[in-house]
Amino acid sequence: MKALVQDLQLKGLQRRMNKIQTPVAAVVVMACNRADYLERTIKSILKYQNAVASKFPLFVSQDGSDPQVRKKALSYDQLTHMQHLDSKLVQTERPGELIAYYKIAHDMEIAPDFFDYFEAAAALMEKDKTIMAVSSWNDNGQKQFVHDPEILYRSDFFPGLGWMLTKPTWNELSPKWPKAYWDDWLRLQENHKGRQFIRPEVCRTYNFGEHGSSLGQFFRQYLEPIKLNDVQVDWKSKDLSYLMEDKYIKLFAEILKNAKPINGADAVLKASNVQGDVRVHYEDQPDFERIARQFGVFQEWKDGVPRTAYKGVVVFRYPPPRRVFLVGPKSFELLGIKSV
């Protein structure tokens, strides 16, 4: 039975792939046991995907045997359903070359410029091999901390919650991929080997599932207030070359040097009374957590890196449009800043 199910899935997948003329990335929705969440996610994707369906073919990858999830996925002709009854990846030989692979959980909604954003990002990844993945997510993307929907950042921390890999990177990582798909961030964070990630200031996905992939952790404080971009950015006209590694480190260092330093207690009050960007230096992880707690941004670190950090620097708006930079003890050295 298992072989028959997989055979039928692969035939359906092959028919869909044969129709693709100019693929950019496969959009894979990971589903398990929430048919209602899956329906909301699919409707959000199809709202903007129809016009670019040949570039972004849609797949639902179901872990487990929930009959309602399977029924819901099969009710849509616009996608291919794959079911993994033993939690192992289905090995497929896909005709044609996909430049990238985009992954989204089954409790996400997408922004109107979602596909244009990832198409532009795919071209950037092809040029800069130091980029491991591109994300649609900003952990500090709450309404009170963002301002500009056109700004993108490099990061040493894998953002998760909606991301895109190139096919060679997926081939590199897939043999050691975890069975639990919510451990994606850990697998990428552990294996990035000095490569970095691209993230937006304003999120292109919104996590609506309090009991979905977030498992309720920090939902009300950090996930519910996330700002989902509602501006149709013309990414095709944007020059993203500033994100290339050699250019970005110099640009970021210059912006950081020009930010006004503030010291001592009451960082929030002092930052609010300064015109322009500010920087606050932290000494170690406990000091970072203390300062982050004052502002209300994520305090958590993973693998020795603060969420969203680039060279130990975490940037957010407070209040918008002012940028606040939380600067680590080695950040200036890593950025090549010798004097300020």
R_g of the chain, CA atoms, integer Å: 21
**220: DSSP letter:** I
Q: 201: exposed, middle or buried (C-beta count within 10 Å: 0-12, 13-18, 19+)? A: buried
Contact (Cβ atoms closer than 8 angstroms) between residue 317 and residue 145: yes
The rounded Cα 218 to chain-centroid distance in angstroms is 17
Q: 338: exposed, middle or buried (C-beta count within 10 Å: 0-12, 13-18, 19+)? A: exposed
The CB density around residue 196, as the number of other CB atoms within 10 Å, is 22
d(CA 110, CA 241): 25
Task: Classify the phi-psi angles of 311: left when phi > 0, otherwise alpha if psi is within -120 to 50, otherwise beta.
Answer: left
Contact (Cβ atoms closer than 8 angstroms) between residue 240 and residue 120: yes
Q: What are phi and psi of 139, to 5 degrees?
A: -60, -30
pLDDT in the model for residue 92:
40
Contacts of 151 (CB under 8 A, 6+ apart): 200, 201, 202
Q: Measuring CA to CA, which residue among 223, 198, 41 is closest to residue 143?
A: 223
User: Is 183 part of the annotated catalytic residue set?
Assistant: yes
pLDDT in the model for residue 106:
78
d(CA 136, CA 48): 15
Per-run averaged pLDDT (10 residues), the chain, 340 residues: 41 52 85 93 95 94 92 96 69 45 80 97 94 96 98 93 88 72 57 85 90 58 93 97 98 98 91 95 97 95 93 97 97 92
d(CA 34, CA 153): 33
pLDDT in tens, 293-302: 999 999 999 8
pLDDT in the model for residue 14:
53
* Residue 42, token pair as written in the block: 């699919």
Q: 110: exposed, middle or buried (C-beta count within 10 Å: 0-12, 13-18, 19+)? A: buried
Q: Of 183, 230, 234, 266, which one is the catalytic site residue?
A: 183
pLDDT in the model for residue 20:
47
